[in-house]
Chain A
Amino acid sequence: MVETLLTESNAASHLEARGVHVWFGQRQVLQDVNLVFPSNQVTALIGPSGCGKSTFIRTLNRMHELIPGAGFAGQILLDGKDIYEDGTDAVDVRLRVGMVFQKPNPFPTMSIRENVLAGLRLTGKKNPNMDELVETSLRRASIWNEVKDRLNDPALSLSGGQQQRLCIARSLAMDPAVLLMDEPCSALDPGSTRRVEETIEELADQMTIVIVTHNMQQAQRVSHQTAFFLSEDGNPGGVVEFGTTEQVFNQPVDPRTNDYVNGHFG
């Protein structure tokens, strides 16, 4: 799989969380999360701050275990295989499950072009068509036209919104089967937000996407299904409602979901 990774497109993967419990030290922050992310679907995770959305999304590519004191129980099945199974390398998981962070984090010592190619360099992979890869990745992140004449400028010379799209391009260059996005637009202006949303729609053809968002309109615009997380009175967070976006927003089963999506709390 690793050899063909960059020459042939990875097919989108089917991802599934089964009975996920998460702790930080002795404190449990997530309780029994069960979610299915079918291939080529966009899933939005919504819920008030502190209910464990970021924590959950980090368990999907094994970034969670980097936090000191992290604890985990349950299964994350990537195309049917548990990524926490004995003998599975976290590095291989992250090659297939890419991630975009809340705050844009381009590598400051690298140029725009080097940032796009950073994944290759960091993983020691070769691609015969570097220029082509740079262009396609930047195009897919809809930032190509803005940067095509300044590919060798430092990445930090871009605006915040451009930096975030560069980070998306950086993930796309690794051709992930699943893309995780943790509030990717929370630091962006409306124009950049719209372009990121367009990008998400286009990418769904090629990969499975999980996006955390605090913006209800955004969830409705980009996602096929929505999971509503809630943590009440300091109890561990969990999924209160999960279904198609249409259903969660328009006919929620749980009254708390109804209150949240209509802005009554959180």
Chain B
Amino acid sequence: MTATQVQTSTMKPTNPWAKRNKARTRDVVIASLLPGILAVVFFFVGTALGATIDPAVLLIIGFLPAQLLAAFLVGRKYYGRHGREDALLIVVTIFLSTFVMVLLLSVLWSVISAGALALRPSFILQNSHYISGTTSLEYGGAGHAILGTVMAVAITTILTVPLGFGIAVYLTETGGKARGVIRTLIQAMSGLPSVVSGLFIYSILVLQGWQPSGFTGSLALLPLMLPTVSRVSEEALRLVPVDLRNGALALGSPTWQAFAKVVFPAARSGLLTAVLLGVARIVGETAPLVLTTTYNNDTNLNPFNGPMAMLPTFIFGYIRNMYDTSIQRGWGGCLVIMILVGVLFVGARVANRKKK
């Protein structure tokens, strides 16, 4: 005992797994940087010599093969056969994920940079009464459209979520005979073009004498939200281990109680995701609204009475004008939708975590 203690006290902790092979590190750095540097040099030298070089073409037929080759060689040199495969996979993965990130960030950036011009307190707080396509951006805003979107989306959510959860419960918890048919219908529904949904409500309600209103718009959004909610919540319920439900039933629990008190709470965060994805699916939809809620420059707080502005139709209305200020209002509307969705997502996640 004492002997061991003496021995261990003279030992120093080391990290044998972290030892660096200097030559290997050097080669990896060279292989990671060289193709990029060569491509940049080639681009500038070539341009200076008068050639026109498309950066995208250079990236794909010049840089990418060179980078793959470099990674391949270094991988093979230090790790053999599996090393060269790993190296290729790493390069492809990084390349593709960078590509997706660049796409995403450039979309975000164009919305933010263009929308920021319009965004100011009045843009959130005022409506577009007396505003024409050329009015300066200091006057008027999208407040009426924000309220309209919030109300209509809320109504759609209130109608769709119980329906969607109900379908998910039917598909996962029961042995119902119509499960196959319902699943097929939902699948078909998720492929429904949104304009068809709008035309459907237009023809069965608006043409029959209902006034276009926030509510008819909500109804046109429902078929678009339903498949998302029911499919994602079906997945969430399926992820709950069958052992949990059986544990409840084995205690003598009625089926309904086992679902409500054990399965449902266990699936809660997945079900929340289903609702959020459903909202995200419809919040920017324009086509179903053009005929069913139409346009309004004024604030309309009654979703059951008369045309109501919503953010997508607000944007659509303004970008059809060819004036700069009016297009900038459109961008402002885009930015507001993005912020709205962001706030909703973060808020819901925080609320969910607090409850846990």
Contact = CB atoms under 8 A, between A and B. Distances in A.
Contacts of B257: 122-124
Interface in A47-95: 61, 63, 66, 68, 91-92, 94-95
Contacts of B265: 109
A108 B266 contact: yes
B31 to A, nearest CB: 45
Interface in B245-286: 246-254, 257-258, 261-262, 265-266, 268
A99 B243 CA distance: 12
B38 interface: no
Interface string A160-177: 000000010011001000
Contacts of B248: 107, 118, 122
A237 interface: no
B16 interface: no
A99 B247 CA distance: 8
Given A122-B258, A124-B257, A101 B247 contact: yes
A96 B251 CA distance: 9
B261 A105 contact: no
Main secondary structure of the interface of B (DSSP, over half): helix
B244 A122 contact: no
Contacts of B209: none
Contacts of B121: none
A238 interface: no
Given A68-B175, A109-B265, A124-B257, A118 B243 contact: no
A32 B249 CA distance: 27
A107 B251 CA distance: 12
Interface string A91-125: 11011101101010111110000000011011110
Nearest to A114: B261
Given A66-B246, A123-B257, A124-B257, A105 B241 contact: yes
A96 B157 CA distance: 43
A105 B253 CA distance: 15
A99 B248 CA distance: 10
Contacts of B254: 91, 122-123
Nearest to B248: A122
Contacts of A174: 251-252
B252 to A, nearest CB: 3
B174 to A, nearest CB: 11
B340 to A, nearest CB: 30
B244 A94 contact: no
A123 B251 contact: yes
B251 A118 contact: yes
A123 B250 contact: no
Contacts of A123: 251-254, 257
Contact of B250 (A63, A106, A108): A63
Contact of A105 (B246, B252, B258, B268): B246
A96 B252 CA distance: 8
B262 A122 contact: yes
A64 to B, nearest CB: 11
Nearest to B252: A95
Interface string B210-252: 0000000000000000000000000000000101101111111
Interface centre among A95, A96, A108, A167 (most CB of B within 10 A): A108
Interface in B17-73: none
Contacts of A108: 244, 266
Nearest to A106: B247
A151 B250 CA distance: 23
B250 A61 contact: yes
A98 B261 CA distance: 19
Given A68-B175, A107-B262, A109-B266, A122 B253 contact: yes
Interface centre among B248, B250, B261, B268 (most CB of A within 10 A): B250
A69 B249 CA distance: 19
A223 B85 CA distance: 57
Contacts of B175: 68
Given A68-B175, A122-B257, A103 B250 contact: no
B251 A101 contact: no
A98 B250 CA distance: 6
A170 B250 CA distance: 11
A63 B253 contact: no
A119 B246 contact: no
Contacts of B246: 63, 66, 101, 105
Nearest to B240: A108
A94 B254 CA distance: 10
Contacts of B268: 109
A119 B249 CA distance: 9
Interface centre among A63, A66, A109, A124 (most CB of B within 10 A): A109
A60 to B, nearest CB: 11
A257 B134 CA distance: 95
A68 B175 CA distance: 8
A119 B266 contact: no
A201 to B, nearest CB: 22
A108 B261 CA distance: 11
22 contacts: A94-B251, A98-B251, A99-B250, A105-B241, A107-B247, A107-B248, A108-B266, A109-B262, A109-B268, A118-B248, A118-B251, A118-B261, A119-B253, A122-B252, A122-B253, A122-B257, A122-B258, A123-B251, A123-B254, A170-B251, A171-B251, A174-B252
Given A94-B251, A108-B244, A118-B261, 15 more contacts: A61-B250, A63-B246, A63-B249, A63-B250, A91-B252, A91-B253, A91-B254, A94-B253, A95-B251, A103-B243, A107-B244, A121-B261, A122-B252, A123-B251, A167-B247
